[in-house]
Structure 1
Amino acid sequence: MRKFLLLFFSTLSSVAVYAQEEVGMADTMRSEGKIYVVVAILGLILFGLFGYLVVLDRKVTKLEKKLPEKK
């Protein structure tokens, strides 16, 4: 348990160090306006995944209604 806690806190401290560094690529993309393209593509992908899940849920519900109920 002690080793686990030591590993956990050392991981947290390393994450905090990386969070303080500046990301040059993001600043460059933001200044050139390309970051909006990346955000739009990510939004489109997430929207597509959400739509797929909705369609899949409807299909599963339809199949569940067709199955006879077992008592």
Structure 2
Amino acid sequence: MRLSFLAKAPMAALLLISQHVLAQQPVSNGVEMADRLRADGKIWVVVTVIAAVFAGIIVYLIRLDQRIGKMEKEVKDKSLVNSR
């Protein structure tokens, strides 16, 4: 079922207005969890874990790139040998 432009316009207007109204709501007291972690000094544990995860992802992607480059080189060499 396709909606005509006249049926879509009120829905789009309602969506845009509701987003604008909800975006204007003030933040009450900030984020309690983050404040508590900062107060206890545990925020650094969270930062360390996130940094370790990102470092692991970066190392994985670098190794994957090296393996793929090696395979591409092997395929290229094989295709050169077969074309002769």
- Do Structure 1 and Structure 2 share a fold, with TM-score over 0.5? yes
Distance change >3 Å, CA 62–CA 16, structure 1 → 2: farther
Normalising by structure 1, we get a TM-score of 0.74
Give me the CA root mean square deviation. Answer: 2.4
2:65 paired with 1:57: yes
Runs of 4+ in 1 over 2 A off after TM superposition: 1-18
2:58 paired with 1:40: no
**Larger Cα-atom Rg:** 2
Normalising by structure 2, we get a TM-score of 0.64
Query: What is the total number of aligned residue pairs between the two structures?
Result: 68
Distance change >3 Å, CA 38–CA 4, structure 1 → 2: same
Uncovered stretches (5+) of structure 2, i.e. residues with no partner: 1-7
Q: Report the residue type matching 1:33 in the other structure.
A: G
Q: Percent identity?
A: 32
1:40 match: secondary structure: helix
Match in the other structure for 2:36: 28
Uncovered stretches (5+) of structure 1, i.e. residues with no partner: none
